[in-house]
Amino acid sequence: MVYVISKQGKPLMPCSNPIARLLLKQGKAKVKCREPFTIKLNYDTTTYVQDLTLGVDTGSGTIGAAVSNQNGDIVYMSEVIVRNDITSKMDQRRKYRRSRRNRKTRYRKARWLNRGSSKKANRFSPTMQSKLHSHVKEIEYIKSILPIKKLVFETSQFDTHLMKNPSLVNQNIRHWGYQKGPNYGFENTKAMILNRDDYTCQYCKGKHKDSKLEVHHIIYRSQGGSDDQSNLITLCHTCHKELHAGNIKLNLKGKLKGNLKYAIQMNMIRKQLFKIYPEALETFGYITKANRLLLNVGKEHYLDACVIATQGSKFNIKTNLFKKKCVACGDFQKTKGVRSGQPITTKKILGFKKFDKVKYFGKEYFIKGRMSSGYALLMDIIGNKIDFSNMPTGFKTPKLKNLIRLTARSSWMITSEMVTPNLV
């Protein structure tokens, strides 16, 4: 299937491969994009289009998208892996910046809270901006190659308090459970734990006669321990010191920190998406699950998107699956190391950059790393390094001169694969 754009730049209905080949051969069209393959017409034509529905399975890690026509034919299908490395990269950049300032500009007066983005009103964090942009970019790209008439989003509103305390499902305690939290009636968590343990050390039971009481994490916070009351215990200062010195040991089971950040992120993404696309319809995960079970299809993001686009009707896949992974637009770091002593090449090496899509012995890969000596490391779209140890001598490590560049680096890596058309 080939996607078609009119001479004026408006999306038209896709055509078959033979028709696209004929148009290109006769000079009536030109190639607009390689993957997904898109052509642009060189002559005026009618603008009649069918009604297409775009279904989006929103997510904090992976986005599924599918476009369906009125007959239930899937004419576009994709999975987008969004970035989750923004925070770690910013932390690393902060570490390098502080080290450099301590070494190079120690005479300067210390400054903080001087970042304009951190003080402005209605601030959206860099991680959330990246994830929201990934959703919007995929939606706008699909709208640029297909005439979308209707949008359907599968979203979720997560109740994080209920996720932390499942007993609130009981309607008898639900109301008061939301009004009175675990610290109700106490100044803070420490005061609640001391009162729970009757202001007594839970190890020596007051034998040390140490009046200084402290709250201890059974599973250390450095090891992912939670701040929940089930992971906290009262100890006197003497026992607490002996415990951290390794002289005594507690035979208690603590609690690891629960990860609710993805639920919180989806609550925010949902709100922002409907601000950008107020005309979009909303559906929910339990509806998609029920329709998916009735259709007897697998649990994949792109299949969920197909069910969303057809609103539970049977569908036939007429296109490949386009897998996309969001990456940074470029490499701007000049050096690496704590003292920035190792230079990094950010420009092209023999015409290649990182994340370029290349062909090597008839197969498509992405460049994972380059060497100034003329060699390269290749990977798949997930990031797994490709092993060429079974290749003949001289080809076990790919050489840049033996690679054929297919597409230059952009803000996402794209590949396509065939899927079984008869899934229903």
Q: Tell me whether residue 73 is in a domain.
A: yes
Instruction: Examine the domain organization and report whether 393 and 360 are in the same domain.
Output: yes
DSSP for 109-154, written as a single string: PP--S--HHHHSTT---HHHHHHHHHHHHHHHHHHHHS-EEEEEEE
Q: Tell me whether residue 420 is in a domain.
A: no
Instruction: Examine the domain organization and report whether 148 and 70 are in the same domain.
Output: yes
* Owning domain of residue 64: 52-85+124-158+261-326
Instruction: Examine the domain organization and report whether 19 and 67 are in the same domain.
Output: no
> For 211-221, what is each residue's pLDDT tens digit?
899 999 999 98
The pTM for the full model equals: 0.81
Structurally, how many domains does the chain consist of?
4
Place of tokens 């860099």: 126
Percent of the chain with pLDDT over 70: 96
- Which positions ≥6 away from 257 have C-beta within 8 Å? 224, 225, 226, 227
Among the candidates 326, 360, 379, a domain finishes at 326
Structure tokens at 351: 């015409």
Residue 265 sits in a domain whose CATH number is: 3.30.420.10
Question: Average pLDDT, stretch 141-167?
Answer: 84
Shortest CA distance to 132 belongs to which of 56, 81, 60, 79?
A: 60
Shortest CA distance to 143 belongs to which of 238, 5, 315, 334?
A: 5
Distance, in Å, from the CA atom of 349 to the CA atom of 54, rounded to the nearest integer, reads 40
> For 180-198, what is each residue's pLDDT tens digit?
677 777 788 899 999 999 9
Percent of the chain with pLDDT over 90: 60
Instruction: Examine the domain organization and report whether 134 and 9 are in the same domain.
Output: no
Distance, in Å, from the CA atom of 132 to the CA atom of 134, rounded to the nearest integer, reads 5
> For 346-376, what is each residue's pLDDT tens digit?
889 999 999 999 999 999 999 999 998 999 9
Instruction: Examine the domain organization and report whether 56 and 153 are in the same domain.
Output: yes
Q: Tell me whether residue 96 is in a domain.
A: no
Contact predicate 231/254, CB 8 Å: yes
Cα torsion angle, 89, 91, 94, 98, sign: negative
Distance, in Å, from the CA atom of 159 to the CA atom of 37, rounded to the nearest integer, reads 42
Q: Determine phi and psi for 306, rounding to 5 degrees.
A: -65, -40
Structure tokens at 75: 């004419």
Instruction: Examine the domain organization and report whether 79 and 143 are in the same domain.
Output: yes
Instruction: Examine the domain organization and report whether 206 and 222 are in the same domain.
Output: yes
Structure tokens at 40: 């642009």
Contact predicate 380/386, CB 8 Å: yes
Place of tokens 């080949």: 21
CA atoms within 13 A on the CB side of 69: 16
Reported as a pLDDT band with limits 50, 70 and 90, residue 12 is very high
Instruction: Examine the domain organization and report whether 236 and 364 are in the same domain.
Output: no
Query: Distances in Å between the alpha carbon of 376 and those of 226, 361, 365, 369?
Result: 43, 14, 11, 6
CB atoms near residue 14 (< 10 Å)? 24
Shortest CA distance to 370 belongs to which of 402, 405, 394, 346?
A: 346
pLDDT at residue 163, rounded to an integer: 67
Instruction: Examine the domain organization and report whether 150 and 60 are in the same domain.
Output: yes
Reported as a pLDDT band with limits 50, 70 and 90, residue 424 is very low
Question: Average pLDDT, stretch 79-90?
Answer: 93
> For 110-130, what is each residue's pLDDT tens digit?
777 777 777 777 788 899 999
Question: Average pLDDT, stretch 267-278?
Answer: 92
Instruction: Examine the domain organization and report whether 307 and 287 are in the same domain.
Output: yes
Q: What is the mean pLDDT of the chain?
A: 89
Question: Average pLDDT, stretch 84-110?
Answer: 88
Instruction: Examine the domain organization and report whether 133 and 64 are in the same domain.
Output: yes
The angle subtended at Cα 328 by Cα 322 and Cα 331, nearest 5°, is 135
Contact predicate 258/164, CB 8 Å: yes
Question: Average pLDDT, stretch 258-266?
Answer: 80
Element holding 369 (H helix, E strand): strand 363-370
